[in-house]
Structure 1
Amino acid sequence: MTLLDEGGSPHSRLAKSERQVPRRAVVAAIAGNALEFYDFGIYSFFAVYAGKAFFPSLDGLTGVLASVAVFGVGFVTRPLGALLIGRLGDRLGRKPALLLTIALIIVGTVGLALTPDQASIGVAAPIIVVISRLIQGFGLGGEVGPAVAFLMEAAPEGRRGLYTSWSTASQGISGFAAGIVGVTFTSLLAPDNMQSWGWRLAFALGLLLVPVALYLRKRMPETFDGRSRGGNITATPWRDLWRNRRVILPGMAMLGASTAVFYVAVYMTTYSIAVLKMPPRIGMLSPLVLGGSLIVFGLLGGWLCDRYNARVIVALPYTVLLAGIYPAYHLLILSQSVPTLLIATVLMSAMPAVAGPSVLTLIGEALPARVRALGLSVTYAVPITIFGGTAQIVVTWLLKHTGNPASPAFYAVMASAVMLFAVMAFPKGLNPFDQANGIALDLRGAFTSED
């Protein structure tokens, strides 16, 4: 037995199943995630233009700082959404929770796309944007837990990591789409048109996914009904979370570290334009590479998770990051060329993408089904609120007040170190998936072979 095989994830030892999951069920589960990251990608990639629209009186980096602060405010309501919608997913089922989250995400996205700039409606503009982000954040906070729980429970034997990896790959698909939109718009539109309406149209394009997402989620099957299958969760969610603290606390540390690194990678477009003064058409190449990395390396990470020790699949990429982030930034600062920008972006996105499916699978398998959606939601939402909502603010502040263009590298190095400590602290063998609790889900009648 090799190091990679030893202590492998419990999903490799599950009994065989005859389940067949239609592709549309998987697409339905990741549709909200895709919409989320398209919107987040567009906001991050066009932060410079949004800053000028909503905070026209502020200078350069200060305007960008205000813009990313509005981006970050949407993370504030994530824990509340995780708590309430995650609990709904464990009581009523994964499907009702996912229908609610997509509705909330739609409301928030429409608000962001249609809000006039400050020159038109004054201080009401940033207020409306903040409210839209709060609504959107509430929905997104409850999205990940039920979606990942659904993917894990619907996965055939031996493919749980791969199915979970579509949560990561969907981020890449939407990020790649956002990058295509960014490169196309900055290449075809004059700067004035980009500032006045181009970046808003980029937001609106994300709404094209809405009818598809709604249709698919209405037709998706249910993988867990808390009312009839072990749904004896306690009167208060805090007690359920406390009972699973040995999973949730180190899980939060892992997801917090991965979130910090990911959002430094997302910041690369703003960094290349606002700090390195590279042309926008070059800076917009970064999200294309980031999206492609999440797709390819996310699915690769899921495949590896199904075959080897998930802990090793998490630790190796972050060891590479720990050693390679600063040299990559140093090279980028010295040359400021397209190849070095793409190298830095690949490093910052590919390594977390490889580890991501294993992180989610480790956490999801260690949680009993009756609290899986709640546990995953909270474990994801709290660290992403703290680090996802502040990473770009902190990095921008460091750049502004230290004058050191390598500041993002130091932040990402610290996050990588935290990840390595957290994965070592994660407990082993708490819950060999649901058989240990007598909650084996029989989905043979729930799915069809229909595609």
Structure 2
Amino acid sequence: MNTTDSHQIPFVPHRPLAGSDHRTLFLAALGGALEFYDFVIYVFFAAVIGQLFFPQSIPDWLRQVQTFGIFAAGYIMRPLGGIIMAHFGDLIGRKRMFTLSVLLMSLPTLLIGLLPTYESLGVAAPVLLLLCRVLQGAAVGGEVPGAWVFVSEHVPQRHIGYACGMLTGGLTLGILLGSLFASALSHHYSHAEIVAYAWRFPFLIGGLFGLLSAFLRRWLHETPVFIEMQRRKSLAAEVPLKTVLRDHGGAVLVSMVLTWTLTAAIVVVILMTPTLLQKRFHIDAATALQANVVATLAQTIGCVVAGLIAGRFGAARTIFVGCLLLGSSYSLMCKQIMVDRSSLMPLYAMAGFFVGAVAAIPVAMIKAFPPVVRFSGISLSYNVAYAVFGGLTPVAVSLMSASNPAAPELYVSVLCIVGALAGYALREAR
């Protein structure tokens, strides 16, 4: 079915939210959740994948390096995939790229669930696995900035914060779904059964649901902002990326700094902390993972709340206050559980909730770039910064922890201060 834009809501900046806006937000958040689930589910089964897709004769440490190297390939491809998809998103339309990104994620995910292992296919098995991860990385590089642009250009200006908060909460929910699915699988199947066949289930289910999401996105309309630019013949007259680098370098730089703060919040507080709780504070794995699920759920709620606050009081103020509260709450958690482990759950939930303040960052970036190059500007800033800092943060924090056990909370606190100040440096584009 090829939907037309004849029923599209006109470009009226101050109208109230309509039913079609809520449908757009729901489908965008659902697709984002499924796409992030597809991207992160690999890491939950990395040990099994390493066992199945690499020869048993190599040392275990080398197998682990190769397995996570393939995982990292997805991050490396994010900037290139995002920039290419943003280029066409600024020139031919947001909706086409929005649908393509979830399709480009779903098909490789489904294929991973069907891939023969090293025992059956030899060296071609890890090569095909690498190709699938490269495609997934390109897809997620276009999905996140593309989704922020898509929903923000559908809703009235005063509801952009709410739209970005809902979408960012959906992305977080995808990480939570991956964690819960992996946990459920480990409870219902033995390790031998998971290695034999059950590891394929999360990839097959994720791929199928992703294809369903891509089909549902066909019912969405092009954004009113892009239609208005087409009507006025005001689309980019040159390569959008060239315009971004020449005319919006300051916005790119500050957006990268804000993305660095975002990676500190997500990577350290959400992804690294369960391991930190086990190694540094000697908390058992089950309790650490349970607390992490609670914190991730709190973050999902926090994203929506932060988006609403950003729409009411402004993105800069929300980022400033939210970052300071995040740095304070995470430091308090690490300090308090040294003397009272029973406080872990509520304190980690509070820190997770304030991680949701990162939902105000895309609101600031949306307003920092004019519509004609908005997709390209956000994609370049976000994906390059996330690829660099998202990859270096675990290494940097681990190295610093060797000499100072309090390095994680210090790292988060410093980046929160940097992010709080950077939020005020990002000016709204004319």
Tell me which amino acid in the other structure corresponds to 1:246: G
Distance 1:230 1:244, change over 3 A: farther
Distance 1:234 1:298, change over 3 A: same
1:391 and 1:298 map into 2 onto residues whose CA distance is 22
Q: Partner residue of 2:259?
A: 255
Q: 1:171, 1:294 within 8 Å by CA — same for their partners in 2?
A: no
- Compute the displacement of 1:258 (Å): 0.5
Gap regions ≥5 residues in structure 2: 1-11
- Residue 231 of structure 2 aligns to a residue in which SS? coil
- Which protein is richer in helix relative to its size? 2
1:95 and 1:239 map into 2 onto residues whose CA distance is 22
Distance 1:162 1:214, change over 3 A: same
Q: 1:73, 1:134 within 8 Å by CA — same for their partners in 2?
A: yes
- Equivalent residue in structure 1 for 2:300, among 292, 295, 302: 295
- Equivalent residue in structure 1 for 2:362, among 360, 363, 375: 360
Tell me which amino acid in the other structure corresponds to 1:24: R
Q: Partner residue of 2:349?
A: 346
Q: Deviations over 1:271-296 (max 9, x none)?
A: 55688776654444245224312321
Q: Deviations over 1:392-419 (max 9, x none)?
A: 45555666xx386655434433432331
2:119 and 2:277 map into 1 onto residues whose CA distance is 28
- Equivalent residue in structure 2 for 1:321, among 292, 315, 326: 326
Q: 1:318, 1:419 within 8 Å by CA — same for their partners in 2?
A: yes
Q: Deviations over 1:93-135 (max 9, x none)?
A: 1111112212211233224333445455444443332221111
Matched-pair identity in %: 24
Q: Partner residue of 1:10?
A: none
- Compute the displacement of 1:65 (Å): 5.4
Q: Partner residue of 1:307?
A: 312
- Residue 307 of structure 1 aligns to a residue in which SS? helix
Distance 1:329 1:185, change over 3 A: farther
Aligned length: 411
1:50 and 1:404 map into 2 onto residues whose CA distance is 34
Distance 1:156 1:227, change over 3 A: closer
1:129 and 1:317 map into 2 onto residues whose CA distance is 39
Cα root mean square deviation, aligned: 3.1
2:131 and 2:404 map into 1 onto residues whose CA distance is 34
Q: 1:145, 1:372 within 8 Å by CA — same for their partners in 2?
A: no
Tell me which amino acid in the other structure corresponds to 1:258: L
- Residue 213 of structure 1 aligns to a residue in which SS? helix
User: What does residue range 3-402 of structure 1 map to in structure 2 within 5 Å?
Assistant: 16-17=14-15, 20-22=18-20, 23-54=22-53, 57-59=58-60, 66-156=66-156, 158-223=158-223, 224-225=226-227, 227-242=230-245, 243-264=247-268, 265-269=270-274, 271=276, 281-329=286-334, 331=336, 340=344, 342-343=345-346, 345-353=348-356, 355-395=357-397, 402=402
- Residue 15 of structure 2 aligns to a residue in which SS? coil
Q: Partner residue of 2:9?
A: none
Tell me which amino acid in the other structure corresponds to 2:98: L
Tell me which amino acid in the other structure corresponds to 2:305: L
Distance 1:394 1:367, change over 3 A: same
Distance 1:324 1:349, change over 3 A: closer
- Compute the displacement of 1:18 (Å): 5.6
1:15 and 1:323 map into 2 onto residues whose CA distance is 37
1:285 and 1:365 map into 2 onto residues whose CA distance is 37
Distance 1:92 1:120, change over 3 A: same
- Residue 183 of structure 1 aligns to a residue in which SS? helix
1:390 and 1:51 map into 2 onto residues whose CA distance is 22
1:139 and 1:34 map into 2 onto residues whose CA distance is 13
Gap regions ≥5 residues in structure 1: 1-13, 432-451
Tell me the TM-score normalised to structure 2 length.
0.83
Q: Partner residue of 1:441?
A: none
Q: 2:102, 2:211 within 8 Å by CA — same for their partners in 1?
A: no
Q: Deviations over 1:416-447 (max 9, x none)?
A: 233134224223x433xxxxxxxxxxxxxxxx
